[in-house]
Amino acid sequence: MNWTNLRKAIIMILVENGEMSRSDICRRLGYESYIYEHIQSYPYKRQPKSRYYRNVKQYKKRTTVYDNLDTLYQAGYVKYEIVSNGKRGRPTTYWSVIEK
């Protein structure tokens, strides 16, 4: 496995802080955040396009972090745990380092 600076940084963050979600990892890495915006069009109703805002911060390089976490998982360096909060929606995935 090629140890890039991002993979080293992810491992160091997880060692220092313990279990973390991907958003927490992005926040610790200092990636830019933005408010999620979705433009919904209704072509069949002759209505103008409407904008849908969620009061949730997204991070620009979330998929890059996920790809590196997945590579570290396949190599056996990190593990993940899926935790549901009992509400509707997608459960949160927490990543942690495997003690070797």
- Per the DSSP assignment, residues forming a β-bridge with 33 are 59
The whole-model pTM stands at: 0.73
Taking the C-alpha atoms of residue 84 and residue 3, their distance in angstroms, rounded to an integer, is 32
For residue 45, the SS3 value is: coil
Q: 5-33+60-97 is classed in which CATH architecture?
A: Orthogonal Bundle (1.10)
- Per the DSSP assignment, residues forming a β-bridge with 87 are none
Domain locations in the chain? 5-33+60-97
Per residue in 41-87, pLDDT (tens digit) is 555 666 666 655 555 566 667 888 999 999 999 999 999 999 998 88
